[in-house]
Amino acid sequence: MSDSSLAYTRADLFRLRDLLEKKTGLYLPDEKLSRLEEPLKELHATLPTASPREIIRAIDSGNSEGIAHLDKLVAAIATNETYFFRTPAHFKTLKNYLIPELVERRKSRGEKTLRIWSAGCSTGEEPYSLAILLFEHFPELLLPWEIEILATDIDLEALQSAERGIYRPWSFRGVGPELAAKYWRPVKKESRRVDDRVRSLVKFRSLNLESDPYPAASNGTKDLDIIFCRNVTIYFRPHTIQKILSRFHQCLNEGGFLVAGAAEYFQEAYQDFEARVFPETVIYQKPLPKAAAHSPNPLPLVWAAPLPRPSPQPAEKQIHNAAAVEPSRPDDPLARAVELISRGEVDPALILLAAHAEKNPRDSQVSFLLGQIAADRQHLGEASYWLQRTAALDPLTLGAHYFMGLLWLEEGKTDQALAAMKKTVYIDPNFALGHYYLGKIHKAQGKTDQARRNFAVVKSLLAAAPLSDHLRGAEGITGRQLLTLVDRELVHEG
């Protein structure tokens, strides 16, 4: 067989596989090595005078011919299976939580910019979905705000298709007929073309996550608010994932969000991000500075373990350190999560709890722990959702009402907070913190006599237990400290 014929060995395939990873970060394990055979045959068919080894050498050299070979190779093995509004939970979370939070933060600073990057955009369904979401739910932002949606991919054929914006029915399986009629225009046969209004918001660029520079102002990857990179890192090995996510972290503004695929969590790679568990999905956030992330008067949270239901026992037994609660079974996801939290590994615990909540949506203890963690981090929207869900699943979960009372106090919703604290002492008459907050609320409402009675109950309960013990429901606060707070309230009456 001559050198110009298709004579390749398994060693050639390994060499091509290694070059593919070196140039693009994409990695094919040994069992998928055969996926390189067909594109290598196709390259040889277009260049019959070039042997596989010459094709491989050209790719390695990085010359214009090699780049063209690499583009064809990537196009042949890339999986461009996507459609509009794929994974609806991500778009629902974007609409209900992420964009409102970012808009509120921007307004507080007098800024009017929103910058989103769809990294690994494939044939364009994802970035166009993002643009349509803005048109549909945030039209007030489109004129006065500077909005940019950057869409990048390494696959040039996919990018060309995305820029044309013409799609077959298969891409619309996540789109209702009314929305389709509003944002797409019929073209030949069954195809539709994205409306020019939507196209104007999206800027497509070729970008190699392995070798191109980012963050960089020159390619629009700097000072971003949201990065969508879903089902892209599943093609990379751990060291590549870690490098890419580290650079994503640098691309984001403080408080910016990274939206990844559900199967892409890799603890070491996400260590610079903070996991946030929303009703249907987990999103990663570049943490805000502590001063911005927390209110001046942080809530007295969080329990190290779920607060158990009250049982008939002396008051001194009701006051204890919640960290001493023993998990029931070592293989219990809740117990494993509590153990992780006790070691300070909160984000891995959140991932575990989120997965368990998805499989067991009626597990009130998991909902409660998710609510506790969200409240402790001052993510009040998520906290409210999980705590109200807990109370709906198990109305006798004292802690759910207590935390909701604290959150409502934080938001200035006094009547709701009062109702929640009344529920805590109804569930457990010996719950000192519930009586304390009832006293504070009544005092703020000018009901001095009622406040005095509430504070008197607190002092009575504290008299029955060692004051050095931590209070149930307030990690780090002792009976003596609460007694001091009560005395201060009484001294400053009126």
Residue 207 near residue 154 (C-beta atoms within 8 A): yes
Both ends of the chain: CA-CA distance in Å?
Answer: 100
Task: Give the distance, in angstroms, between the CA of residue 422 and the centroid of all CA atoms in the same chain.
Answer: 34
Which H or E run contains 379? none
Judge: domain 315-491, CATH 1.25.40.10: yes
Q: Name beta bridge partners: 282.
A: 277
Token pair in block for residue 466: 């060692």
Distance CA 461, CA 127 (A): 58
Measured over the CA atoms of residue 416, residue 360, residue 100 and residue 175, the dihedral's sign is: negative
- Dmax (CA) of the chain: 102
- Ranges of each domain in the chain: 10-77, 88-289, 315-491
pLDDT in tens, the chain (494 residues): 344 456 678 888 889 889 889 989 888 888 888 888 888 787 777 776 677 788 888 888 888 888 888 888 887 777 767 899 999 999 999 999 999 999 999 999 999 999 999 999 999 999 999 999 999 999 999 989 999 999 999 999 899 999 999 999 999 998 999 999 999 999 988 899 999 999 999 999 999 999 999 999 999 999 999 999 998 888 889 999 999 999 999 999 999 999 998 777 777 888 899 999 999 899 999 998 865 544 444 444 444 344 444 443 333 333 333 333 344 455 687 888 888 888 888 999 999 999 899 889 999 999 999 998 998 888 888 999 999 999 999 999 999 999 999 999 988 899 999 999 999 999 999 998 999 999 999 999 999 999 999 999 999 888 877 777 767 666 567 778 888 888 888 876 65
Domains 88-289 and 315-491 share a fold: no
Interior/surface letters 102-128, b for 16+ CB within 10 angstroms, e for the rest: bbebbeeeeeeebbbbbbbbbbbbbbb
How far is 35 from 37, CA to CA, in rounded Å? Answer: 6
Q: Give dist(CA 413, CA 395) in Å, integer.
A: 21
Q: Is the pTM of this model over 0.85?
A: no
Closest by CA to 116, choosing from 174, 203, 39, 24, is 203
CATH architecture of the domain 88-289 equals 3-Layer(aba) Sandwich (3.40)
User: Can you give 42-104 as a three-state secondary structure string?
Assistant: HHHHHCCCCCHHHHHHHHHHCCHHHHHHHHHHHHHHCCCCCCCCCCHHHHHHHHHHHHHHHHH
- Of 334, 384, 338, 339, give the one whose Cα is nearest residue 360: 334
